[in-house]
A and B are shown apart, each in its own frame.
Chain A
Amino acid sequence: MVQVVRDAAGAPIEARRLTKRYREVPAVDGVDVTVLPGEIYGFLGPNGAGKTTTMRMLLGLVRPDAGTIRLFGRDPKEDLLAALKGVAGIIEEPRLYSYLSGRANLRMLADFDRSGVDRAFVEEVLETVELRDRAGDRVREYSQGMRQRLGIAACLVRRPRLLMLDEPANGLDPAGIRYLRRLLRRLSADGITVFLSSHLLAEVQELCARVAIVAAGRIVYEGEIDELRARAGRRYRLTAAALERAASVCAAVPGISDVAIVDEHVTFAVDADEALLALTRGLAEADIAILALVPEQLTLERVFFELTEGPAERETVPA
């Protein structure tokens, strides 16, 4: 289980007012992020929200225009190599030398790490990511999933305490995604802090206890994912024979709010199970057949609309 320590001093990542502009257009605008030891931290946002630029700044690839960064309490501006000690990351997708073998790539990066990692450890890491059988093949012959695993291996040879992954599930098939989740849980259990950037809430909520949501270069939410769920509320989708009458019944039930007709469904928020019970009774009394009543999947898009633009536009039903 992830242990969350509230003291941010010496935290794996502590960024304050991080800002980066490209031709006066802010890509990252005053971002504050604190990642605590041992957690898998989700960094959520749509494409172009500033996630990758933030990660590039954290890894020293891009200079911030303003703000401060501390990695395990060390300032990359003062000494980048010291700050990056124990930190490994993949930006966007793993980029390795396609004309070298997977094994040669890892040996090279291990040498570049100057951590005295021996060849036996490289083999161990290849075993961990299940690539040892293909380690002698050139990377250009690898599938997308194998490249992704090799990218993670490239991080692991650094013996990281903090792992930063940018959209690691991109291009992976379901088996690859399941493997990735299993691996990240194992690494976290081993004490490695994971900073996971993604545009998929489903991916993040599987793994993370805390998240930050970034939109248009700004953090619009940072906190527990459970709190986020609570904020979005429990929502249901009702498919019924008489849609408008069903919506009116919903709106009249205490404990049900935010009733709307979306496409061929009635959607609403529920604050307790008793309200659902009252709703089914009400619909039965009104002689309205229930075709389906299902919980709505909390989508990132919806959360974004809630957090950044208010509720999504829809036909609302007065209570």
Chain B
Amino acid sequence: MIGGTLIAYRWELVKLVAQRRTWLGMLTAAVGPIVYLLLELAQGPPGAPLANNLGHTGVGFALVVFKLIAVVGPAIIVALIAGDIVASEDMEGTLKTILTRSLRRGEVLAGKLLALFTYLAAAMALFFVVSTVGGVIAWGFHPLLNISGSRLSALHALALDVPAVAVYCLPVLALASFGLFLSVVTRQSVAAIGGTLIYAMALQGVAAISAIRSAHPFLLTNQFTAWHDLFQTPTASGAIVRSLWVSAAFALPPLVAAWVVFNRRDIAS
């Protein structure tokens, strides 16, 4: 199983690298923070956690942007790739080519899932690097005041940025899992990409309903701010742990459903 998955994974990466839409997503991840940085320089800091550091230090700029792009930013990148990763092969007919070789369907799907997660992690990493470098160029590499108002050295803050990005990625991967599920069941790239975006919007819509405030901590959208734990004094972990299992709870059902459908369905296109 592992050997076959790794073969599929390696070639999925090769395929992603060879496709234009992959680079479009990467470009969005790279250009987004720069555009936002220019807006910040023109308009002044927004009302977001750590935003009061803008103008004083570039460290933490990525996290400010994370808060402001909320669910929509990653949803666009996720939808572009996750929605397309199986559906495009269905539409192009290449699925029948690879499914008559010597890899099991589950191995092919697992390879695609790993490649999808790798791509998203790479996009987030690029986003982080561009944001941080841009922020440092604009405001310098100086100490940062965390959410509790404590002063962190620039290096300490930068070291915390990395796990914060990883925590931010958890709900992004859950969103990607749903995109993959839609890609498998709809067999249509447009439907899967659009469906993933609508799903993200719907999650945000649900999070805005005040009547279910007590359920908010368990909504996927709320997990996008779990990294705040790392920038509090003392450092907390409750929200991060919750983000782990809530994201898993949102990711697993669509993944299991995608697995079952992909393994059982006829490839008749």
Interface residues of A (CB under 8 A from B): 53, 56, 59-63, 80-81, 84-85, 87-89, 91-100, 104, 108-109, 111-115, 154, 158
Give the contacting residue for A84; candidates B7, B97, B102; CB below 8 A. Answer: B102
Cβ contacts B7-20/A at 8 Å (1 or 0 each): 11011001100111
Closest Cβ of chain A to B184, distance in Å, is 15
Q: Is the CB of A95 within 8 A of B97?
A: yes
In whole angstroms, what is the CA distance A204 to B104 when docked?
Answer: 33
Listed from nearest, the 6 A-B pairs whose CB atoms lie closest are A95-B93, A112-B101, A61-B267, A62-B266, A114-B102, A108-B11
Q: Is the CB of B266 within 8 A of A114?
A: no
B-side contacts of A87, CB under 8 Å: 100
In whole angstroms, what is the CA distance A61 to B103 when docked?
Answer: 13
A-side contacts of B10, CB under 8 Å: 111
Q: Is the CB of B100 within 8 A of A88?
A: yes
Give the contacting residue for A56; candidates B102, B104, B264, B266; CB below 8 A. Answer: B266
In whole angstroms, what is the CA distance A139 to B10 when docked?
Answer: 20
* Interface size range on B against A: 20 to 34
In whole angstroms, what is the CA distance A80 to B102 when docked?
Answer: 9
Interface residues of B (CB under 8 A from A): 3-4, 7-8, 10-11, 14-15, 18-20, 92-94, 96-104, 264, 266-268
Question: Known interface pairs A100-B15, A104-B14. Does A89 touch B7 (Cβ–Cβ under 8 Å)?
Answer: no
Closest to A99 in B: B18
Closest to B12 in A: A108
A-side contacts of B99, CB under 8 Å: 60-61
Besides the known contacts A94-B97, A97-B15, A112-B8, 9 further A-B residue pairs in the complex with CB atoms under 8 A apart = A56-B266, A61-B268, A81-B102, A100-B18, A111-B7, A111-B10, A112-B101, A114-B4, A158-B101
In whole angstroms, what is the CA distance A111 to B111 when docked?
Answer: 13
In whole angstroms, what is the CA distance A104 to B15 when docked?
Answer: 10
